[in-house]
Every structure is written in structure tokens, then in C-alpha cells.
Amino acid sequence: MRIGVPKEIKANEYRVALVPAGAAALVQHGHEVVIEGGAGEGSGFSDDLYLEAGATILDTAEEVWATAEMIVKVKEPIEPEWSLIREDQLLFTYFHFAASEPLTRALMESGSIAVAYETVQLSNGELPLLTPMSEVAGRLSILEGAKYLERFYGGRGLLLGGVPGVLPAHVVILGGGVVGTNAAKMAAGFGARVTLLDISLPRLRYLSDVMPANVNLLYSNRYNILEQIEQADLLIGGVLLPGKKAPSLVKREDLKRMLPGAVIVDVAVDQGGCVETIYPTTHENPIYEVDGVIHYAVANMPGAVARTSTLALTNATLPYAITLANKGWKAACLEDPALLLGLNVVHGDVTYEGVAEAFDMEFVEPEAVLSR
Ligand SMILES: NC(=O)c1ccc[n+]([C@@H]2O[C@H](COP(=O)([O-])OP(=O)(O)OC[C@H]3O[C@@H](n4cnc5c(N)ncnc54)[C@H](O)[C@@H]3O)[C@@H](O)[C@H]2O)c1
């Protein structure tokens, strides 16, 4: 199969969908890999590295889209790319269709096959192609929070781990999933005093087995949240109700109870955030202040560490990309129920229920399109 990797053109997107090692693996499986010149530069991978891996470099995105049977990307195609998508072309990338009807319609009209990273789902409910980005964002939330605790940025002027004779900062984490666990490990490693709250008792039990001694675990309810935020130097938001808007756990009036110069990093901002006063910010302008509390709410945090994020993402996506290329999308989806759940739009039909529901469109069972 001919696999194409265009350069990402969405603003501030420096990731690339395939690293040279991935290109080499696909070539080893007998596939042809074409990469748009400069596609890997934002993540530190030069064209020469792809050439050494056996890929071909093409000058323009048009050439990549025009010749590849499967396109592998990071972000959803944006409007200038829509006219390049060809009938029967297989697209494997993040789409987040439910957030954009125009994108959904564009893919329906293209007659292509869209397999979305974000809906590939294992039988235990895990989303294996979202997990690596939550790992990155969880760890990064502590680094960003530590920075904005500095006095210069309006923070409390605290060093996360303290020093001998001076108490460490108190980090409160809402949600003990992938983001929360990675944030807790990072904060604990810096020597902070950490309290993590979750509503899932099985999850809290698991975390009590694996977390270091400076991480305390607490059941999440309104009473405990209020008690904790009063003492928090850094508050991390990492809750998720799958497919829904994040619950608003910290209300506007609660900010008055927080310490002046405390920092909130609401990682869940991409699902509306779990702090009422949160709105999405950008890497150029990441913070703002409400009632003396610093708010950080960058919606695409992994972009700040593009090389790590690219490697983490492609570690997870490559095995699926190889399967799709080796077997073709129909056989691959027939054999792997996780990949079948990734099918969102096929030859004009919407095959993912949540997307059909979002836009009141007809839902076609993915199994039905496999037998066509
Ligand atoms: N901003 C970014 O760049 C970025 C990057 C990656 C992920 N995210 C977002 O971070 C959020 C968390 O992702 P995740 O992968 O950790 O999800 P996850 O499903 O692994 O974890 C969510 C956790 O929240 C808990 N929870 C639900 N309701 C709660 C409540 N009321 N109080 C306390 N805990 C509660 C759940 O029990 C679960 O353990 C998501 O919205 C995700 O999209 C954002």
C-alpha cells in the first residue's frame, strides 16, 4: 500500500504522524511511504532521516494526497485540505467529528474512509490512542503549574518541593485517571505534598497500591473538594465523564476561598473544564487571573513538547497503521473490534453513533459497511 504523510498545517501543530522508525517498519512490511518535505521538522526529524528509512520525500501536500491510498495524520484535515481527500482513500488521524458538522459533511462528501484515533477503543473501555496524550498533558501540567507558581507570573512564589526546613507546596488533583495519575507521580517526584481526589473507589484502591507516600487519596465530593482547594497551592483538573462535558467541580464563588496566587491548571478544558471560570487559552497566551487565582487552560498542551508527543503518539498508532496497511481497512476492522470502533465515516455514511447523534444524521452500523 502507498502510505502518505502530509505536513500538519493547523496553527501551532508541530507533531508528525510517522517518525523515521515507523516509516522503516512500514517499508519493511512491503509498503511505500511518501512524506511531504519538512513534515517532521517541528518534531526534530529531518527529511534525510526519512530518506534513510526508505521513504520518498515529495515537495507538496497535493502530491502526497493525490497518490497515497492511506493518509496518516495527527490533526483532523482542515478546510484547505478537504478538496484534496480522494474517494476510497483511507484516513487515519484524530478527527473529533462530533465537534464539527462541516468537517463531518466534508468527509461524507469525499467518499473516503475515516478511522478516528480518538474512538479506537479496547474492550476494557481504554482509548489507546488518546492515552499517550493524557500521559504527556498530566506530566506537563505539573511543570506548567510549577512555573506559574513563581512570583514573577503572579503566583505564590513557591518552589514545588520546598527545601530542607521549608514545607513543600500542596498540589491538589481532581480526577485520578491517566492525567491525574501522571500529574501525581510528577508532583510527588518533585517532593510536593499531593492530594488526589476521584469518585471511583476501585480506582482509589488501585492508586493506593502504586502511589508514593507523599500522595494522599481522597473520595471526591463537594465537601472534600472545598476543604482541599482552601489549602491548594496548585490545583490540577483531570476529570472526565466520557463523551460528556466535564462536571463543574470548582464554582466561581469558590475561588474566594483559594489562596491568593494559587494556580489552577485545568487539563480537562478540552471537555469544557472542571472549573467554572476556565476558558481555553493558547501556548502564546496561556494564563489569566480571576479573583487572584492564576488560570492555565491550554487546550492542546502536548503541542508544547512536540517531539515527546510525536514519539508517544506514534508508538501507539503505528501498530494499527501497520495492520490497516497490511490487511486493508475492511479485514483489519473485521479482525479487531477496537479498530472497528474507530470507523467514523465510510463512503458517505456515518458509522459512529455519537457523531450521528450529534448532528441528527442517520447512523449506519459499522458491521454493515464491512459486508458491502
Ligand atoms: N488540555 C490538553 O491538552 C489535554 C490533553 C490530554 C487530555 N486532556 C483531557 O484531560 C481530561 C482527563 O483525561 P484522562 O485521560 O485522564 O481521563 P480518564 O478517563 O483516564 O480519567 C478521568 C478520571 O476522572 C474521574 N472523575 C470523574 N468524575 C469525577 C469527579 N466528580 N471527581 C473526581 N474525579 C472524577 C474518573 O473516575 C476518572 O478516574 C479529559 O478531558 C481529556 O480530554 C486534555
- Give residue-wise pLDDT tens across range 252-278: 999 999 999 999 999 999 888 999 999
Ligand 1 centroid distance, CA of 156 (Å): 26
Measuring from atom 42 of ligand 1, which residue has the nearest CA?
268
Please name each of the domains of the chain with its CATH number: 2-119+305-370 (3.40.50.720), 131-299 (3.40.50.720)
Partners of 265 in the β-ladder: 236, 296
pLDDT score at 62: 98
Measuring from atom 20 of ligand 1, which residue has the nearest CA?
177
- Let me know: does 207 contact 181? Beta carbons within 8 Å: yes
Mean pLDDT by 10 residues, the chain (372 residues): 96 94 98 98 97 98 98 96 98 92 97 96 94 97 98 98 98 98 98 98 98 98 98 97 84 98 96 93 95 96 95 98 98 97 97 93 96 89
Let me know if 96 is a catalytic residue.
yes
Closest CA to 70 of 324, 301, 247, 331: 324
**d(Cα 323, Cα 226) in Å, to the nearest integer?**
48
Sequence-distant (6+) residues with CB within 8 A of 308 are: 136, 302
3-state secondary structure string across 72-102: ECCCCCCHHHHCCCCCCCEEEECCCHHHCHH
Ligand 1 centroid distance, CA of 239 (Å): 3
Question: Ligand 1 atom closest to Cα of 247?
Answer: 31
The sheet with strand 113-116 has its strands ordered as: 56-58, 32-36, 2-5, 70-72, 90-93, 113-116, 343-346, 349-350
Ligand 1 centroid distance, CA of 327 (Å): 34
Mutate to test the pocket of ligand 1, among 201, 240, 264 (most ligand atoms within 8 A of CB): 240
Let me know if 270 is a catalytic residue.
yes
Could you tell me if the CB of 171 is within 6 A of ligand 1?
no
